[in-house]
Amino acid sequence: MAMITKSTELLKAQENGLPVVALESTIITHGMPFPQNLETARMVEDDIRAAGAVPATMAVIDGTLHAGLEPDQLEALAQARDVDKVSRADMAVCMSLGRTGATTVAATMIAARLAGISVFATGGIGGVHRGAEDTFDISADLAELGQTAVTVVAAGAKAILDVPKTLEVLETYGVPVIAYGQPDMPAFWSRHSDLPAPLSMSSAQDIAKAHRMRAALGLPGGQLVANPVPEEDEIPAAQINPIIAQALAEATEQGITAKQVTPFLLQRIFELTEGRSLVTNIALVRNNARLAAEIAHHLV
């Protein structure tokens, strides 16, 4: 049986050797309300098309894994309720039970590999949660980057995480972490941090060449490209860090744990910034999609 169903647009693109960029779907189902989620998903897809590439949003719909969604499927997903948030551990269960699931970074990487897509754009990856030395709460995204050969373009790890520990785990898994155009790691909503980037590159072509070289060496795993948010859209670290600290303290006080931590923190930060964090989030996703499209051009 076919493990994945490709959209009409994706089939045509691959038949004609066009560059393709994978997209996740949790930002649609779990990231923002309808209709803003649908409008954002369409904008990101159109950004990729405007850059001369083809978007492929991943999702599980009624048990079928889709690479690329038809317009009506995207609209239905944006309004769907009780959608699972699937990662490596529960992706197969969601499919076998005929459920609908939105793909996390890890699940999107798996879907991209099955669909023959080498580049994926997202907002920020998951990582090591603060307090992980007690909870062992570490995102499956990191292990996926260590084993699935997809180049992921993000604005770094989400700033609510323990970024230094996240970088250490990525190093252990042999994942190249490449800051784009600057020597330090971007910090999701902010362009800069006090963390030096393990690697730095300033051209999409060089990133694509490194992707191909890893394949030639037979190395498993992908690359993480940390792309800073555009300057006009960032929330400087001095402004966002106290807000993150407040949200983290509230999560601890309220006993928020496991998969509920990230949604709680993002919602509180949205409230405390009066919506500015979401505006920045949308801007950085679009920026990452444009860079991913440029990288994809060099991989066809």
> What average pLDDT score do residues 285-299 get?
98
Q: How many CB atoms lie within 10 A of CB 300?
A: 14
Binding site residue list? 85, 105, 137, 139-141
Say if residue 50 is exposed, middle or buried (CB neighbours under 10 Å; 0-12, 13-18, 19+): exposed
Which amino acids are annotated as binding site for substrate, given as ranges?
85, 105, 139-141
pTM for the full model? 0.97
If pLDDT is split at 50, 70 and 90, which confidence band does 165 have?
Answer: very high
Which fold, 1-117? Indigoidine synthase fold (3.40.1790)
Which three-class secondary structure state does DSSP give residue 67?
Answer: strand
Bridge partners, 167 (sequence order): none
Question: Per the annotation, where are the binding residues for Mn(2+)?
Answer: 137
- pLDDT value for 146: 98
C-beta of residue 221 within 8 angstroms of C-beta of residue 150:
no
Query: Sorting pLDDT into bands at 50, 70 and 90, what band is 1?
Result: low
Please list the residue range(s) of the chain that carry CATH number 3.40.1790.10.
1-117, 126-299
What percent of the chain lies above the pLDDT cut of 90? 93
CATH of 126-299 given 3.40.30.10, 3.40.50.1860, 3.40.50.720, 3.40.1790.10: 3.40.1790.10
pLDDT digits (tens, 9 = 90+) for 62-97: 999 999 999 999 999 999 999 999 999 999 999 999
What residues act catalytically? 24, 158
pLDDT in tens, 227-277: 999 999 999 999 999 999 999 999 999 999 877 888 899 999 999 999 999
- List phi, psi (to 5°) of 87: -130, -170
Structure tokens at 187: 């910090």
Q: How many CA atoms within 13 Å lie on the side-chain side of 195?
A: 25
110 pLDDT more than 90: yes
The tokens for 254 are 């309220």
